[in-house]
């Protein structure tokens, strides 16, 4: 499925700043919409077996013990961090699309090439995402009666004091796999949906697609992302919630063995329900805000 690009070329230096800003806006939208779902997911993934009976039980206990504010625990880190991460994702993805466009002398990109663009973006983003998610997860999983960290900066300092940058980047391996494969599928799916829309409506351009459709396509892309890489995310969360001192897991393989031995394949999908429920609204908001922001920055009246 070849897809035509409708974007400024690589020689447009201001475009990089626009990509970064639009990506940041998309990331902020993603956090505000998806944080409650993510909080429930992380608690299910990291809690000892038998702590919660399911997503609804997590919600009930959160409201009872910490109030509705508990759903947004640790939000400052992702609000800043995810904004930066999504900014990197989208700007590198856009850069790679323009690179292919120039290399192919304006010929349409195919889905494999769009996958490659997303995979490169994901790999680059993984080095930023890993420490941000580590700190966010540590803050999300501490309860009111067992508060170890007093904010993201305190969390960073205490992890660094115990294990240096190695500790800060704990879970980097599965994060890079998740981001590379996941974002490759993510962006390729989105571009395929946009291409199909334009094919069904000859004469329209990308800027003519309604925001609600962009939101729909982003949501569907979010589904393909999480369905494809959720078990890897589970490994990452287990590593990043392991004890800071006397860690239970040596590496990703030890996590795999432990989960499979205790819970079988089902264990790799613990917390999947809130994640998939989050996928549509959070990623729909991300793509819609990114595209609309890009139109506004480009002076589009659409």
Task: Identify the band that residue 298 occupies on the pLDDT scale cut at 50, 70 and 90.
Answer: confident
242 has a pLDDT exceeding 60: yes
Range 106-122 average pLDDT: 91
- 47 within 8 A of 12, measured Cβ to Cβ: no
Residue with tokens 């992702």: 78
Concatenating the DSSP letter of every residue in 187-219 gives HHHHHHHHHHHHHHSTT--GGGS-HHHHHHHHH
Domain ranges for the chain, please list them. Answer: 13-297
Average pLDDT value over all residues in the chain = 86
Classify domain 13-297 at the CATH class level: mainly alpha
- 217 within 8 A of 193, measured Cβ to Cβ: yes
Question: What is the model's pLDDT at position 8?
Answer: 47
Question: What is the model's pLDDT at position 77?
Answer: 65
Question: What is the model's pLDDT at position 74?
Answer: 61
Percent of the chain whose pLDDT exceeds 90: 41
The CA distance from 185 to 199, in Å, is 21
**Measuring CA to CA, how many Å separate 149 from each of 129, 171, 246, 287?**
20, 19, 18, 33
Question: Using alpha carbons only, how large is the chain's radius of gyration in Å?
Answer: 20
**Measuring CA to CA, how many Å separate 141 from each of 135, 209, 210?**
10, 40, 39
The CA distance from 81 to 79, in Å, is 6
Question: What is the model's pLDDT at position 70?
Answer: 73
- 285 within 8 A of 216, measured Cβ to Cβ: no
The CA distance from 290 to 280, in Å, is 15
Q: What is the pLDDT of residues 190-229, one digit of tens each?
A: 999 999 999 888 888 888 899 999 999 999 999 999 999 9
Query: Of 237, 137, 129, which is closest to residue 183 (Cα–Cα)?
Result: 129
List of E strands, 85-236: none
Q: What is the pLDDT of residues 16-26, one digit of tens each?
A: 788 888 888 88
The CA distance from 88 to 83, in Å, is 9
How many Cα atoms sit within 13 Å of 291 on the Cβ side?
A: 25
pTM attached to this predicted model: 0.81
Backbone angles phi, psi at 243, to 5 degrees: -60, 140
């Amino acid at each position: 499925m070849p897809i035509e690009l409708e974007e400024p070329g690589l020689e447009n230096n201001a475009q990089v700043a626009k990509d970064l800003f639009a990506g940041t806006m998309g990331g902020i939208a993603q956090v505000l919409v998806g944080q409650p779902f993510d909080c429930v997911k992380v608690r299910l993934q990291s809690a000892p077996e038998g702590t919660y009976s399911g997503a609804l039980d997590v919600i009930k206990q959160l409201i009872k013990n910490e109030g509705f504010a508990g759903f947004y625990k640790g939000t400052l880190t992702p609000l800043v961090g995810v904004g930066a991460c999504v900014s990197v994702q989208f700007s590198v993805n856009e850069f790679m699309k323009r690179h292919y466009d120039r290399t192919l002398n304006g010929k349409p990109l195919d889905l494999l090439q769009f996958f490659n663009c997303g995979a490169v973006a994901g790999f680059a983003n993984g080095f930023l995402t890993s420490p941000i998610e580590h700190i966010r997860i540590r803050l999300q999983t501490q309860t009111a009666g067992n508060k170890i960290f007093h904010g993201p900066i305190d969390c960073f300092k205490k992890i660094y004091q115990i294990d240096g940058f190695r500790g800060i980047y704990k879970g980097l391996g599965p994060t890079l796999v998740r981001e590379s494969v996941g974002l490759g599928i993510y962006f390729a799916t989105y571009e395929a949906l946009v291409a199909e829309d334009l094919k069904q409506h000859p004469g329209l351009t990308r800027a003519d697609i309604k925001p609600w459709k962009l939101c729909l396509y982003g949501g569907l892309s979010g589904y393909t992302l999480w369905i494809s890489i959720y078990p890897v995310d589970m490994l990452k969360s287990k590593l990043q919630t392991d004890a800071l001192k006397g860690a239970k897991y040596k590496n990703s393989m030890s996590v795999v063995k432990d989960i499979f031995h205790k819970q079988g394949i089902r264990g790799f999908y613990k917390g999947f329900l809130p994640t998939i429920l989050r996928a549509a609204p959070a990623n729909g908001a991300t793509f819609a805000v990114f595209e609309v922001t890009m139109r506004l920055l480009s002076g589009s009246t659409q």
